[in-house]
Amino acid sequence: MNEKKFGFGCMRMPVMEPGNQTSFDYDKIEKLFDTFLERGFTYFDTAYTYHGYHAEEAVKKALVERHPRDSFELATKMPLRDFKDEEDLEKIFNEQLNNCGVKYFDFYLLHNMGHNVYAKCEKFHAFSFVQKKKSEGYIKNVGMSFHDVPALLEEILKKYGDCIDFLQLQINYIDWEQPNVQSRKCLEIANKYNKPVIVMEPCKGGTLINVPEAALSLMKGYNSEAWVMYKRSN
């Protein structure tokens, strides 16, 4: 993995009607996608469940059908809360290939791994399933997006680390020591097992852009020069 260090997340694409997550504003989406590619970036991240289970179809229309397959890299995810058994893993995966209009995924993740789904993944062999799809050429890189405590991450990597090429972790300055996220410890474990990390929620869904005045004053006081550079870039 040698990615340019910026990806396009397709969880919050522009829509025509506020509150209607499937009313895609394709003119805006296409402009955003095209500009992203023109600037030399290639990584697009979507998921089966985004935008009311229709984000993959929107990515197909705005990206896949409009650009050569070798001009971008596409990541999507197996919904661990949704699948019921081994047959369902196969069914959903094939549906995703069709939704996205591709023959393979550059990056494919087990989505939202945590205690609530780990036992099911073991019971129905989700780790070996994605490894099989990789061996068949349908996946280039197998990953896992993780939302749980560091101890579970280490348990999974000890047992299934050979199946995992990379991790997607929630990392930002608010969650660095947050008890229910523990970004720092999760990152340390990823480094311990030599797993490349893709960062999700770097701005916590945008909430870290407009911070409370008290927090803003602390930041300016800590490093006023960095603050000036931040304002120029935005």
- Residue 233: band (very low, low, confident or very high) from pLDDT cuts 50, 70, 90: low
- Per DSSP (E only), the strands in the chain are 7-9, 43-45, 73-79, 105-113, 139-146, 166-170, 197-200
Looking at residues 74-79, what average pLDDT do you find?
98
Assess contact for 46 and 56: CB atoms under 8 A.
yes
- Indicate the SS3 state at residue 190: helix
In the block, residue with structure tokens 């990806």: 7
pLDDT of 69 > 60? The answer is yes
pLDDT per position as a tens digit, 110-165: 999 999 999 999 999 999 999 999 999 999 999 999 999 999 999 999 999 999 99
Pick the CATH number of 7-202 from 3.20.20.100, 3.90.1170.50, 3.30.565.10, 3.30.360.10: 3.20.20.100
CA 56 to the chain's CA centroid: 13
Looking at residues 58-80, what average pLDDT do you find?
98
Q: In the chain, where are the structural domains located?
A: 7-202
Q: Which pTM was predicted?
A: 0.89
pLDDT of residue 207: 80
State what percent of residues in the chain have pLDDT above 70. 94
In the block, residue with structure tokens 């030599």: 194
- Whole-angstrom CA distances from 170 to 23, 28, 54 are 28, 27, 23
